[in-house]
């Protein structure tokens, strides 16, 4: 039934949008729209084994409009929609409305608001659903089961049905502003009467701001204007924000480039691919030692002369005499050793 979810939601939104344009919460007006759209025919065409699954899908979709963050009128329409769908479903016995325990507090608060506003239609319809045991109270809003899909698709809420924030307007109204101004005037009179007989330090104490009332009023008006103009933003502000973001990104790129140039300018260690190379030795030079950055090779050792040049420096005839005597001694002491022929191995054939 997942392929029917979007179509059912669009039909419910169309019904509630028509009910929202009437600016009423009466059940009579909702029933007229219900009959005009012939919404009861939504259950037609379902086969026997599909009736219960489709009824569960329709009731779950309609139940989402009964809960916050939708406005009071949309929640009333969602309640009427649930009542009508529960009565018109073709499943027998009728499918119950799944409602989580954490959402029941919102429903009771919604009922209290309807009682305070004297919307008796809302209270009567909700009591009828409770009397017929239409709600199935559960621990979770959705049925928990092993699903193949790891990521569940979340449907976007309709912004037109959302309730706008109105707490500042409710908190700071005209009556509150008048009370604050009266309290401020009374405080000023008491302060003037006390300042003549008290010390100057006590008379200089200010417990209230002089411009508190007009500042509160201007803040509430600015918030209301911002709500009205939130959708239509000024293009100049967007351009300024874009230019500032581009400047910040360019500065950051320049800073990263300077850091990289400093890091690459320093002497770096030889790479691993070059450490296996042999040490180059120049025996004719004065200093034939390897460079400190070059690696050491175990397979190719230095000659005797190169090693003696690294450790001992002999100049003139002494160097020649020493080399001649060492050659003679080596020739006399070494015996002739025949070269061993390499062994031949027979290759194994598979």
pLDDT digits (tens, 9 = 90+) for 66-94: 998 888 999 999 999 999 999 999 888 99
What's the confidence (pLDDT) of residue 202?
55
H or E, element range at 137: strand 135-138
255-270 per-position pLDDT tens digit: 767 766 666 555 444 4
Once rounded to an integer, what is the mean pLDDT over residues 28-54?
A: 91
- pLDDT of amino acid 114: 93
Assess if residue 81 is contained within a domain. Answer: yes
327 falls within a domain? no
Residue 132: pLDDT band by 50, 70, 90 thresholds? very high
Indicate the pTM of the whole model.
Answer: 0.50
* Residue 45 or 278, more confident: 45
User: Do 93 and 115 fall within a single domain?
Assistant: yes
User: Residues 13, 134: one domain?
Assistant: yes
Q: Name which of 25-34, 49-58, 320-329 the model is least confident about.
A: 320-329
In a domain, 106, yes or no: yes
Same-domain status, 101 and 220: no
Domain that holds residue 46: 2-145+152-163
**pLDDT at residue 290, as a whole number:** 46
Q: Are residues 13 and 131 in the same domain?
A: yes
Same domain, residue pair 17 and 157: yes
- Determine the Cα–Cα distance for residues 215 and 184; give it in Å rounded to an integer: 14
Question: Does a structural domain hold residue 201?
Answer: yes
Same domain, residue pair 18 and 131: yes
The H or E element that residue 135 is part of is strand 135-138
* Greatest Cα-to-Cα distance within the chain, rounded to the nearest angstrom: 130
Cα gap 207→321, rounded to integer Å? 108
Query: 205 and 59, same structural domain?
Result: no
Specify the number of domains making up the chain. Answer: 2
Q: How far is CA 237 from CA 89, 234, 240, 244, 251, in A?
A: 53, 6, 5, 11, 21
Same domain, 94 and 219: no
Task: State the helix-helix crossing angle for 72-88 and 5-21, rounded to 10 degrees.
Answer: 120
Rounded Cα gap, residues 266 and 275, in angstroms = 19
Domain limit, last residue, from 184, 205, 228: 228
Mean pLDDT, rounded, of the chain: 75
Residue 136 has pLDDT above 70, yes or no: yes
What would the pLDDT profile of 237-256 be if each residue is shown by its tens digit? 444 555 566 666 677 777 76
Same domain, 80 and 51: yes
């Amino acid at each position: 039934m997942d392929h029917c979810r979007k179509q059912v939601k669009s039909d419910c939104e169309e019904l509630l949008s028509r009910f929202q344009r009437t600016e009423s919460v009466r059940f009579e007006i909702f029933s007229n729209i219900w009959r005009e759209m012939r919404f009861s025919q939504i259950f037609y065409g379902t086969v026997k084994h599909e009736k219960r699954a489709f009824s569960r899908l329709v009731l779950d979709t309609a139940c989402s409009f009964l809960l916050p963050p939708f406005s009071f009128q949309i929640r009333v329409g969602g309640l009427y929609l649930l009542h009508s769908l529960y009565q018109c479903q073709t499943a027998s016995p009728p499918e119950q409305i799944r409602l989580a325990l954490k959402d029941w507090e919102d429903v009771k608060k919604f009922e209290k608001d309807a009682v305070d506003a004297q919307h008796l239609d809302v209270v009567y319809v909700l009591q009828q659903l409770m009397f017929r045991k239409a709600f199935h109270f559960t621990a979770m809003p959705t049925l928990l089961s092993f699903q193949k899909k790891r990521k569940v698709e979340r449907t976007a809420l309709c912004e037109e049905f959302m309730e706008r924030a109105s707490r500042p307007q409710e908190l700071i109204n005209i009556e509150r502003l008048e009370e604050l101004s009266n309290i401020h005037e009374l405080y000023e009179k008491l302060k003037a009467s006390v300042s003549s007989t008290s010390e100057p330090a006590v008379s200089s104490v200010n417990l209230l701001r002089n411009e508190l009332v007009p500042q509160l009023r201007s803040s509430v008006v600015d918030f209301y204007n911002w709500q009205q103009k939130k959708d239509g933003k000024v293009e100049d502000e967007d351009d300024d924000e874009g230019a500032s973001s581009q400047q910040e990104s360019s500065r950051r790129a320049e800073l990263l480039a300077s850091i990289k140039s400093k890091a690459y300018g320093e002497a770096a260690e030889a790479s691993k691919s070059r450490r296996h190379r042999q040490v180059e030795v120049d025996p004719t030079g004065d200093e034939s030692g390897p460079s400190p950055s070059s690696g050491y090779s175990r397979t190719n050792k230095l000659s005797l002369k190169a090693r003696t040049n690294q450790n001992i420096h002999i100049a003139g005839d002494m160097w020649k005499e020493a080399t001649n005597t060492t050659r003679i001694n080596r020739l006399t002491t070494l015996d002739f050793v025949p070269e061993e022929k390499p062994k031949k191995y027979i290759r194994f054939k598979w």
